[in-house]
């Protein structure tokens, strides 16, 4: 027998690092982006129905009228999720489907859709994760003033009670809002999202009322749901970086962190608005009258999980840096800024990084840093990556396949970042890929494909992309493959 000399022994592949026991593997969608059936079973228009019908607001004049027709195809979609081995599905509820006009009694036909969807998921062994609000305010509530009006928080608390009553016996994880920053600042600041208003003061007022509505809904959910239920909110926390080490760029980063992140984490997790945010914006709103006694206590009721969405970092400077463009912050072009009080900050594209079809730099370290920073700043709350993914220009090959190696590389890099953050102490409980399937990408319509499943909109045929098979394999192993994609 020939002994193998230690110095020439074949290199053993290192044992793949497994994700923590109980780490949740999921995929996410949102009602207006996938459901379609916009006028069926009593649903009334939301602000996105109105916005997408307004000429010039959405690319190609696309609307969510049909979208991926999930409303009719949900059984097939759940079966597909099961085949992929998904353990959880994060979806949102269309408020105007279950409570048309946003007031008054619920419509049973609307509630039935979600009951059936949830039952189908449970039957397939997939955990439902319900988001109450993913940007689609009933149009009648916008007509009454929308999120800048405090009364909208009353409507949201009523709606939360309806949903807890209808689904509380079968949904164990509830999220109040998805990315309230977008609702407030893209919806009422830059106007690139519905309802398309460009009023900096209204955007700040909307942010406070979204915070308050979150707190009030958490209280309602806590009062109605079984003790084991988990409550959460999902924030698109900006991983803000200064362009240079200058004091001016550090101040630009501080400002964007304040109005991009701490405007939500401050009241929700610390029970206070940051003083620097108030100073930066006090020429626009009177915070002392906007925030009533008791609001901060209501907003800061405990949550069980903080959802974090991450796609790309945010690189900022003072405007004198020249190369920066105050318009291209990655959130869509507008003559109006979504950064009230900090309109002068310039945004930059990171050099030397590959980009997605959204022109967003691919930077997994941003996710690592975001998870580490958030767990350092808020160690009391476990984290969940509730969205991460990428759009690429996917197409079906003549053989009927969709090869998306760039998406596999993106997911591999970002899941590796999650694993590094977990190894370094961040309490990250799971990962939801955005998105389960191609869908209506807001102002970009159907021109951007974020899905791990391709949707042929003409036939509504679903084709799992190569990344879906790759993700299924990761889920099965509970670990990343040893080598990244070439």
User: Which residues here bind ligand IFM, judged by CB under 6 A?
Assistant: 30, 33, 179, 309, 387, 434, 441, 450
Residue nearer to ligand IFM on the CB measure, 26 or 242: 26
Q: Which two tokens stand for residue 215?
A: 């707190």
Q: How far is the CB of 87 from ligand IFM (least distance, A)?
A: 21
Catalytic-role residue among 35, 120, 142, 179: 179
- Extract the runs of DSSP E, i.e. beta strands, from 388-452: 428-434
Residue nearer to ligand IFM on the CB measure, 30 or 316: 30
- DSSP letter, residue 39: T
Catalytic-role residue among 142, 387, 406, 441: 387
User: Do the Cβ atoms of 236 and 181 come closer than 8 Å?
Assistant: yes
Q: How far is the CB of 175 from ligand IFM (least distance, A)?
A: 12
Query: Which residues are bridge partners to 230 per DSSP?
Result: 173
Q: Give the separation between CA 159 and CA 132, rounded to whole angstroms.
A: 9
Residue nearer to ligand IFM on the CB measure, 30 or 80: 30
Residue nearer to ligand IFM on the CB measure, 153 or 388: 388
Q: How far is the CB of 214 from ligand IFM (least distance, A)?
A: 17
Q: How far is the CB of 33 from ligand IFM (least distance, A)?
A: 6
Q: How far is the CB of 344 from ligand IFM (least distance, A)?
A: 26
Complete DSSP assignment for 274-298: -HHHHHHHTTT--HHHHS-TTHHHH
Listed in sequence order, the residues at least 6 apart from 66 whose beta carbon sits closer than 8 Å to its beta carbon are 36, 37, 38, 457
List C-alpha distances in Å: 56 to 53, 230, 440. 9, 40, 16
Q: Give the separation between CA 250 and CA 259, rounded to whole angstroms.
A: 15
Q: Which two tokens stand for residue 337?
A: 């800024």
Q: Give the separation between CA 261 and CA 342, rounded to whole angstroms.
A: 14
Listed in sequence order, the residues at least 6 apart from 479 whose beta carbon sits closer than 8 Å to its beta carbon are 16, 17, 18, 19
Listed in sequence order, the residues at least 6 apart from 434 whose beta carbon sits closer than 8 Å to its beta carbon are 27, 28, 309, 387, 388, 389, 450
Q: Give the separation between CA 421 and CA 428, rounded to whole angstroms.
A: 8
Pairing of strands 305-309, 346-348: unpaired
Residue nearer to ligand IFM on the CB measure, 299 or 308: 308
Q: How far is the CB of 434 from ligand IFM (least distance, A)?
A: 6
Q: Give the separation between CA 243 and CA 315, rounded to whole angstroms.
A: 6
Q: How far is the CB of 290 from ligand IFM (least distance, A)?
A: 26
Residue nearer to ligand IFM on the CB measure, 86 or 296: 86
Q: Give the separation between CA 209 and CA 216, rounded to whole angstroms.
A: 10
Residue nearer to ligand IFM on the CB measure, 33 or 314: 33
SS3 51: helix
Q: What are φ and ψ of residue 356, in 5° steps? A: -90, 180
Q: What is the CA radius of gyration of the chain?
A: 22
Is 387 a known active-site residue?
A: yes
Q: Give the separation between CA 364 and CA 353, rounded to whole angstroms.
A: 11
Q: How far is the CB of 14 from ligand IFM (least distance, A)?
A: 34
Residue nearer to ligand IFM on the CB measure, 48 or 273: 48
Cite the active site residues: 179, 387
């Amino acid at each position: 027998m020939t002994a193998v000399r230690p110095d020439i022994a074949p290199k053993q592949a290192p044992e793949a690092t497994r994700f923590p026991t109980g780490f949740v593997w999921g995929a996410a969608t949102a009602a207006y982006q996938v459901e379609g059936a916009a006028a069926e079973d009593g649903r009334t228009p939301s602000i996105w129905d109105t916005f997408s019908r307004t000429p010039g607001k959405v690319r190609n004049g696309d609307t969510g009228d049909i979208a991926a027709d999930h409303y009719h195809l949900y059984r097939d979609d759940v079966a597909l999720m099961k085949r992929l081995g998904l353990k959880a599905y994060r979806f949102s509820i269309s408020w105007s489907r279950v409570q048309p006009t946003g007031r008054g009694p619920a419509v049973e036909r609307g509630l039935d859709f979600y009951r059936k969807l949830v039952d189908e998921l449970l039957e397939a062994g997939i955990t439902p994760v319900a988001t109450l609000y993913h940007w689609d305010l009933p149009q009648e509530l916008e007509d009454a003033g929308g999120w800048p009006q405090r009364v909208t928080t009353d409507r949201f608390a009523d709606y939360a009670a309806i949903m807890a009553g209808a689904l509380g016996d079968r949904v164990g994880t509830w999220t109040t809002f998805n990315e309230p920053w977008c609702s407030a600042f893209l919806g009422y600041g830059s106007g690139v999202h519905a309802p398309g208003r460009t009023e900096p003061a209204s955007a700040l007022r909307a942010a406070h009322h979204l915070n308050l509505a979150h707190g009030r809904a958490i209280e309602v959910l806590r009062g109605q749901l079984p003790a084991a239920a988990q409550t959460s909110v999902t924030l698109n926390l900006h991983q803000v970086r200064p362009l240079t080490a200058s004091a001016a760029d550090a101040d630009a980063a501080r400002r964007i962190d304040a109005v991009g992140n701490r405007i939500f984490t401050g009241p929700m997790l610390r029970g206070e608005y940051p003083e620097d945010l108030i100073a930066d914006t006090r020429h626009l709103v009177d915070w002392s009258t906007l925030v009533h006694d008791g609001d901060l206590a209501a907003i800061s009721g405990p949550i069980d999980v903080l959802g974090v969405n991450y796609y790309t970092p945010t690189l900022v400077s003072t405007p004198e840096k020249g190369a920066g463009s105050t318009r291209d912050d990655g959130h869509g072009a507008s003559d109006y800024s979504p950064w009230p009080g900090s309109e002068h900050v310039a945004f930059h594209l990171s050099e030397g990084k590959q980009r997605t079809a959204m022109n967003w730099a691919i930077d997994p370290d941003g996710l690592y840093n975001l998870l580490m920073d958030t767990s350092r700043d808020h160690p009391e709350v476990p984290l969940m990556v509730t969205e991460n993914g990428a759009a690429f220009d996917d197409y079906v090959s003549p053989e009927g396949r969709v090869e998306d190696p760039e998406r596999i590389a993106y997911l591999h890099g970002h899941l590796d970042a999650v694993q590094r953050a977990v190894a370094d102490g961040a309490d990250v409980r799971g990962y939801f890929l955005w998105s389960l399937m191609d869908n209506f990408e807001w102002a970009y319509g159907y021109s951007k494909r974020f899905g791990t499943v391709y949707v042929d909109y003409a036939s509504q045929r679903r084709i799992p992309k190569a990344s879906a098979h790759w993700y299924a394999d990761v889920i099965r192993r509970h670990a990343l493959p040893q080598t990244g994609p070439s």
